[in-house]
Structure 1
Amino acid sequence: MCGTVYNQGNLVYSPDGNILFSPVGNKVNMFDLVKNRSSTLPIQTRWDVAVLALAPKGNLLLIIDERGFGALINLYRRVLLKRMVFHGPVAAAAFSSDGKLLATTHDGKARIWKTPGIEREFSAMTLWCETTSHHDDITTLTWSADSRYLLTGSKDMSVKVHEIKDYHERRVKLIPYRTLIGHASPLVAVFVSPDSKAIYSVSRDGTLLVRHAVDKSSDARDEDEEDADQRLPKAMEGALALGEEDSDHKINRFRITARHYFHQSSAQVTAATFFAPTQMLVVGYSNGVFEMWELPHFVNLQRLSVSNTAISTLAINQTGEWIGLGCAKLHQLLVWEWQSESYVLKQQGHFYDMNGVSHSPDGQYIATCGDDGKVKLWNAMSGFCFVTFSDHVSPASAVTFTKNGQVVVSASLDGTVRAYDLIRYRNFRTFTTPEPTQLSTLAVDPSGEFVCAASPDNFDIYVWSMQTGKLLDVLTGHSAPISKLVFRPDGMMVASASWDATVRLWSFMGRKKESEVLEHRRVVLALAFHPSGEQLAASTVDGDVCFWDTKELNQTGSIEGHRDVIVGQRLGMSQSTANAVNSKAFKSMSYSPDGSTLLCGGDSPVVLLYDTQTYVLVRAFKITRNRKFDGIDNGLPYRNMTEAGHIDEIDDYSDESDLESRKDTSLPGVKRGDLAKRSTPRQVRAKAVEFSPTGRGWAAATTEGLMIYSLDNEWNFDPFDLDAEITPDTVMDTLRARDFLVALVMALRLNEVPLIRQVYEAVPPVEIPLVTQGFPSRYVGRLLMFIATHSDTSPHVEFHLMWVNQLLIQHGPYLKRNIHQLQPALRNVQKSLRRVQGDLSKLCNENAYTLQFLLNRCRQARQKNEAATMKFLNEHIGPDHEEVTGLSEPSL
């Protein structure tokens, strides 16, 4: 998922601090900040994810949705271990420092679970015990460094310290003076110092309380009369750890030793996190500002404004360098490196729904447009957005790449078509209509010379020249809004679909501007040309797909798509889903590069893949299982019915504690179900689908975001033709026997990257031609993919070039025959070589004068040596040219 980077919930870092886990809807995205890549875990929850908890070893990830349904995931294999039901919303969850226990919130209690170990168990997660109840819901919890104490903070403005007394007997008790009070608003976060001697608590009103364990024999009145500047150093000197006893074997009590305030006018604290090794506190506010403080002396380190809305969550990696910030209202995800004061990651998806998607000719980039009027370019390999165009002032309705891949063209409801240069990243052409009108669809011919756009208002098609930007022609003939425009692959014809139940084929390249009409029974919504240009697919409003022969202009076949589309039960829907006809039509279609399959998507939660030869369904892809959207459940939702109606139709904003959340934004006098109501149930839609030119994947612009489906899976361990005789020891024995070809093939079959690197670099350069000549063709793709990834971190540039050169020479025919399967590997190799070339050329250009100086010095040194040699020969060799012995040569 690329179009959305963060929705709600908390962020967590991996144990090495390089991977950031972010909840996106009912899924979780993994952002590798070092390799600059992102991926999505294949596990979904029933509702939007609200809480993430990662084990200290990084092997287990617990995700909990907003209704209390959880999933325990094995991150190493990316498989689901267990589904869990917490019987209510969970506000926080955290693994203990040793990873043996897990704490979750449940109303006013904290539940402690026993986590699974290495041994195989009947139940992967068992309930261990429950802690003492608070008077209100728990908002935060944390563990001490030794996993002996659990601290909880609640809306009742108190902090409780729980001691894990006996692990085997499942006993948890509160230590004396267990309830810590002093705040005037609900708790946001509670932290413990690394030595367990200080407790820090932060509340929503911007108050920080520092507590230390003091001796009970000390006079409390004298401490209260002391100055705060003197009280804190004194408490730090004589402080004891949690549960530590004094000389009289009495456990000491906690006292407030310091009280600090975050001075942010009209802003509340919304998030806080703590870095224990350096005792650095990071606090986020409702006005988009976050601050960094050094504890316990409360020294301000940094203050920065990153957003106009509230900061929802904060996270610090294990090295303390990167701070992750999430803003739920704007769907922003930021990673700030506070030492260098620079952004490591700064991503934001489309604020509203996406309307169009388009692949670049090489499949590396994806362009999207949305209702927010922005056009974004995404890297298909990394999943990151690298440029955003905000020139449109109204929703952007369509976007497409030109054939050369250097220009992106977009149409908008503001009546303009804009062309963007991908070299300088600027809007270099703006096409307008003679009269102001909205533009709903777009098409560009393969040569990139002609741009066509259609209007739903006057039913005309406008044709512009890309070179001059002038309007060339206006095609008229439709009597209803035009839904789709598409060029034939040879560029000699453009097809238009309209609500008047016709498809027109325009040949405006010649002198006669005639159009052929293909009659349909219903409204036509989508079109797609076969890569050969001899077949045209048209989708109608009744869910059928008609196939036409573009030469004979006759129908060759059809697909009854409404039989395959599964529509869930929606709110207010009294009839069965089998009889419903709404949302069973395809509004976007795309052929695969070889033309063997057809991809169809529309206003339903599924995307269908059909075979174009037999007209049968190959596979149905369900976009999401998130029940937050309307129409996901297939049956009638009787379990969600209450006396007041459906549970999703009951207003619960008045139960919120925040003033902003309690505001009612509905129109006065509006009843439930009226179309004038602002908040309506969202439905899952696939507004645009398109195959990648490589044929290895496809993308869909949905209400959940930009979803990319690929055939290229990434696994930590993925052996190929593996048998029992291939082990790392046998591979090393073969390498020591200098049988390089067999050792390399065995390493590729085992598919362990460190082993492949060791064998690959052990091959002598003179042996590369011989090894590649006998190298099996079926392993060429794997070796090229390894070279592409390894060359990014390896300094052996010439060594990699020799391998790539010999592989292309020896296996050229095989690469040409299997270009579709091997195109991702070849594209990665080309990308890696371009990056190396760019780095070397930039280095040489920046050091041109330095290189010239070194060459001149070498030339001068050589001339000086030659002159010294000639002088030596003239002085010590006689006229008869006899060598003079006994003389040492000069030092050159």
Structure 2
Amino acid sequence: MVLGYDPDPLFTPALREVTRGEAVPGCRAVALQSPSTGRPVTPNQNDRLHQALDMKFTYKFSNLLGTVYRLGDIIFSHDGNTVICPVGNKISVYDLRNNRAHTLPIEARYNYTTLALAPNGIILIAAEEDGEVHIINLNFRNVLYRKRFNRPIKSIKFSPDGKHFALTKENGEKDLYKPKAKNAADEGEDDIPLPEDEEKTTTKEPKEEDDPELPKVFYKRRFRVFMDTHMGKRKVSVTAAQYHKRINMLVVAFASGDFVMLDMKDKGAIVHSLNISNQTITSVAMNQSGDWMALGVSSLGQLVVWEWQSESFILKQQGHFNNMRVVLYSPDGQNLATGGEDGKVKLWSCQTSFCFVTFSEHTAAVTGLAFTQSGRAIITSSLDGTVRAFDLTRYRNFKTLTSTRPTQFSCVTVDCSGELVASGSQDSHDIYLWSLQTGRLLEVLAGHQGPVSSVQFSSQPGSTLMVSTGWDGTVKVWDAISNTTSKESIGLSSDGLCVCIRPDGKQIAVATMDGQITMFNPSTGQQEGNITGRNDLGAGRADADKITAKKNLQAKSFTSICYSSDGKCLLAGGQGKNVCIYSIDDELLIKKFEVTQNRSFDAMDDIINRRKMAENGINLSLIEERDNNNEKVAIKLPGTRQGDMSLRAFRPEVRVSCLTFSPTGRSWAASTTEGLLVYSLDNNWLFDPLDLDFSNTPSAIKQKLKEKDYSTVNVVVSNLTQLYVEGVLAYIAEAIESTRHIGLYSHWATALVTSHGNNLKTRSPQIMSVLNGLQKSIVLHHTNLSKV
């Protein structure tokens, strides 16, 4: 409820987000009612919220990791150095020369299946599985035009001059379109508007009887190739093929995971063959020179670029072929570790977006991840009954920790010294404590009366504080060294699902099954705050649900929470499509992110589409469809979270399984059903000068440089005020990551830290994210240059 306004155009987005309503344009809220607590918001809280939204939480989607390829066409750029492929309802671009990848900030309503690139290499046409076609400008990374055909699009091709494109759809018609008024290659323009009148641009293919002067073309078969002869007399099914006109080669892929390369000049003689998988190859493409071929395996989420002449892999990437469960940033923020239900642990580079190591020692789902403080090892827990430690220098499993009796581990944590490892179990309801150096089981901490769902050590140096929560509805505070019994046992309103400790170790937050997040003081056990955020999760109504989306929301809860690097905010997500950022002091929802708009997933809408309802109002999704043998049933049983994934009509629901904040505070990642989504701050567009006056102009600075009127770095830094010091340090921490002038920026950073070290040390908790970012950039350059 809004009590008053005063003019302030900057607060309009914040007001709309907090009140979940329509804000009055150009007005600033004087007092609001918190949607999380129901209490009025004071003016001081309002000002803090306003400042936080203006600068701190402008996170935007930046990249998609963990999922390399889903289904659809794979195409090469015209220079042959870039692979473009669909990943769900997004499109990823893999730069093979620079070994980098990025995902376009474009999100479709359904999964992309068909791609085509214009001859100018700028215009990309992508078709969704429901028949909507998007024309995309790759330079500006936005959608120029949308056209719906209401039928699945099987193939799209551009004409050689790029003025037309042809597509095929279900009803057998072929349509030609002219997407631009002039050829972009002739005019030198990247973004040419499309014609508004569609009927004028649509032309039908002329028939022979309409034009008697049209020359007739006759084709005859030269030879026929039987694929069985090349596959050892095995009966195989062809699933993908592409012909390269310049080198007269045909690449044919099969459902067995094999592909062959045939020479069309020599009547289909086999030139090269290889098996890349035991699953079906769903797409194949060749670059312009014919040296590289890209192959995609949908069931495994695998993308391979193979150079057939040298018989070597140019790119070989594979994501988790099941859902990801956990994700965690490394202490320096350069890498991301993920664990999935397939039992694999993968490490992804935040710089290149590629997976550089995969550990497959676990035989069951990975349930927990923890980095040591030095970042040289990673500890994982699994349902296979083991906790494993992996060396990130030699990339090997150097310790395997087990319990006295077989049990399934649900979570894991490591203390700040890297000596103690703790893991909670599902069936024995105990917490096991090991020494990482010796691998010996030290203690078995008993006290929980239900499965332990989360456990975490404090990150403060020298602290042995550990907290845990479980399905018994309690939070227990432990001292892992001095006592084997819990120091505090705090009762909760419902079963505990996740617990985390604030970076300074003076507060803990617990997410419970009733959709609440409660903050406690670990020393006294007193409650310091409460957030009721169930309505922020954004749950929808599945096709087979008999209850409404509002009623379905009452059974949802947060399953993953984590503190920001400064400890002032809380990131929360769970059984819904939204990720929320809450202010801890004000107990307010600051911002809400919808992780996907993909309607290929179930439970994305609040109501059921009319097309899925019969005339008498019966939901068609609730009608069982049996096959000829009356064995398989398409509808899933009530209460089950997953359907039969072997069915073609299987539609998973969007879930956020784990969240993690970067130590630098400039990004956070979420492992979801869509993949590993990374959101980061993008302040390049923001103009925010400090103490600007009329004398500070570009022309005046250039004139001073011509006059050689400049001082040394040390003199300039020593005369800076504290406000400028933190601003310059934040700029250097961000700019040094991608600049070539490493020595210059390092000199400025050294001078800032040397001259203002005492003041920076007193404000270290407030600028910890800036210092972490500076350390991350310097360590990255040091690692690259040390090899040279």
TM-score for both structures, normalised by structure 1: 0.70
1:83-232 superposed matches below 5 A = 83-107=146-170, 108-117=172-181, 121=193, 123=195, 126=198, 170=203, 172-174=205-207
* Pair 1:504–1:820, CA change in 2 (3 A): closer
Which whole-Å CA distance do the structure 1 matches of 2:111 and 2:779 have between them?
39
2:537 to 562, 565, 568: 565
Which whole-Å CA distance do the structure 2 matches of 1:60 and 1:774 have between them?
51
Q: Which residue number in structure 1 is paired with residue 594 of structure 2? A: 622
| 1:73 correspondence with 2:136 | yes
2:264 to 287, 295, 310: 295
* Pair 1:116–1:814, CA change in 2 (3 A): farther
Q: Which residue number in structure 1 is paired with residue 787 of structure 2? A: 838
Q: Secondary structure at the match of 1:440?
A: strand
Deviation at 1:610, TM superposition (A): 0.5
* Pair 1:713–1:322, CA change in 2 (3 A): farther
Contact 1:113 1:125 in 2 (8 A): no
- 1:560-586 deviation line (CA, Å, top 9, x unaligned): 111322211122333332233455211
Contact 1:586 1:601 in 2 (8 A): yes
Which whole-Å CA distance do the structure 2 matches of 1:801 and 1:669 have between them?
63
Q: Which residue number in structure 2 is paired with residue 51 of structure 1? A: 114
1:322-471 superposed matches below 5 A = 322-471=292-441
Deviation at 1:769, TM superposition (A): 8.8
- 1:101-148 deviation line (CA, Å, top 9, x unaligned): 121112211111111345864746836677xxxxxxxxxxxxxxxxxx
1:603-622 superposed matches below 5 A = 603-622=575-594
Q: Secondary structure at the match of 1:820?
A: helix
- 1:321-375 deviation line (CA, Å, top 9, x unaligned): 3211101111110111223221111111111111111111001111111111111
1:726-875 superposed matches below 5 A = 789=738, 791=740, 800=741, 802-812=743-753, 820-821=769-770, 823-824=772-773, 827-839=776-788
Q: Larger deviation: 775-784 or 538-547?
A: 775-784
Q: Which residue number in structure 1 is paired with residue 244 of structure 2? A: 275
Q: Which residue number in structure 2 is paired with residue 5 of structure 1? A: 68
2:631 to 662, 665, 668: 668
Which whole-Å CA distance do the structure 2 matches of 1:372 and 1:714 have between them?
39
Q: Larger deviation: 668-677 or 281-290?
A: 668-677
Deviation at 1:75, TM superposition (A): 1.6
Q: Secondary structure at the match of 2:551?
A: coil
Which whole-Å CA distance do the structure 2 matches of 1:714 and 1:344 have between them?
33
User: In percent, how many aligned pairs have the same letter?
Assistant: 35
Contact 1:356 1:399 in 2 (8 A): yes
Deviation at 1:96, TM superposition (A): 1.8
Deviation at 1:280, TM superposition (A): 2.6
Which whole-Å CA distance do the structure 1 matches of 2:599 and 2:626 have between them?
20
Q: Which residue number in structure 2 is paired with residue 312 of structure 1? A: 282
| Matched AA of 2:168 | T
Q: Larger deviation: 367-376 or 672-681?
A: 672-681
| Matched AA of 2:563 | Y
| 1:64 correspondence with 2:127 | yes
Deviation at 1:784, TM superposition (A): 7.2
Contact 1:459 1:482 in 2 (8 A): yes
* Pair 1:593–1:270, CA change in 2 (3 A): same
CA RMSD of aligned residues (A): 3.5
Contact 1:112 1:128 in 2 (8 A): no
Contact 1:115 1:126 in 2 (8 A): no
Q: Which residue number in structure 2 is paired with residue 266 of structure 1? A: 235
Which whole-Å CA distance do the structure 1 matches of 2:88 and 2:197 have between them?
25
Contact 2:367 2:411 in 1 (8 A): yes
Q: Secondary structure at the match of 1:405?
A: coil
- 1:277-319 deviation line (CA, Å, top 9, x unaligned): 3233222122111222333334433211111112111112233
| 1:40 correspondence with 2:73 | no
Q: Which residue number in structure 2 is paired with residue 678 of structure 1? A: 644
- 1:688-712 deviation line (CA, Å, top 9, x unaligned): 1111111111111111111111114
Higher RCO (CA < 8 A, seq sep 6+): 2
Contact 2:307 2:314 in 1 (8 A): yes
| Matched AA of 2:111 | D
Deviation at 1:61, TM superposition (A): 1.9
Q: Larger deviation: 360-369 or 299-308?
A: 299-308
Contact 2:574 2:656 in 1 (8 A): yes
Which whole-Å CA distance do the structure 1 matches of 2:591 and 2:734 have between them?
29
| 1:474 correspondence with 2:423 | no
| Matched AA of 2:584 | T
Contact 1:368 1:377 in 2 (8 A): yes
Which whole-Å CA distance do the structure 2 matches of 1:772 and 1:281 have between them?
64
Contact 1:356 1:370 in 2 (8 A): yes
Which whole-Å CA distance do the structure 1 matches of 2:271 and 2:244 have between them?
14
Q: Which residue number in structure 2 is paired with residue 657 of structure 1? A: none
Which whole-Å CA distance do the structure 2 matches of 1:336 and 1:17 have between them?
13
- 1:398-417 deviation line (CA, Å, top 9, x unaligned): 11111110111111111110
Contact 1:335 1:343 in 2 (8 A): yes
Q: Which residue number in structure 2 is paired with residue 640 of structure 1? A: 612
Please, which runs of 5 or more residues in structure 1 have no aligned partner? 131-169, 179-242, 655-663, 722-729, 743-765, 792-799, 840-892
Contact 1:565 1:606 in 2 (8 A): yes
Contact 2:537 2:575 in 1 (8 A): no
Q: Secondary structure at the match of 1:709?
A: strand
Q: Which residue number in structure 2 is paired with residue 167 of structure 1? A: none
Q: Secondary structure at the match of 1:639?
A: helix
* Pair 1:258–1:571, CA change in 2 (3 A): closer
- How many residue pairs get matched? 680
* Pair 1:782–1:741, CA change in 2 (3 A): farther
Q: Which residue number in structure 2 is paired with residue 593 of structure 1? A: 565
Deviation at 1:770, TM superposition (A): 9.6
Q: Secondary structure at the match of 1:173?
A: coil
Contact 1:177 1:253 in 2 (8 A): no
| Matched AA of 1:434 | T
* Pair 1:475–1:68, CA change in 2 (3 A): same
Deviation at 1:77, TM superposition (A): 1.4
Q: Which residue number in structure 2 is paired with residue 863 of structure 1? A: none
Q: Secondary structure at the match of 1:296?
A: helix
Q: Secondary structure at the match of 1:808?
A: helix
Q: Which residue number in structure 1 is paired with residue 27 of structure 2? A: none
Q: Secondary structure at the match of 2:780?
A: helix
Which whole-Å CA distance do the structure 1 matches of 2:474 and 2:421 have between them?
22
Deviation at 1:651, TM superposition (A): 8.8
* Pair 1:720–1:594, CA change in 2 (3 A): closer
* Pair 1:582–1:554, CA change in 2 (3 A): same
Deviation at 1:37, TM superposition (A): 1.6
Which structure: larger Rg?
A: 1
| Matched AA of 1:495 | V
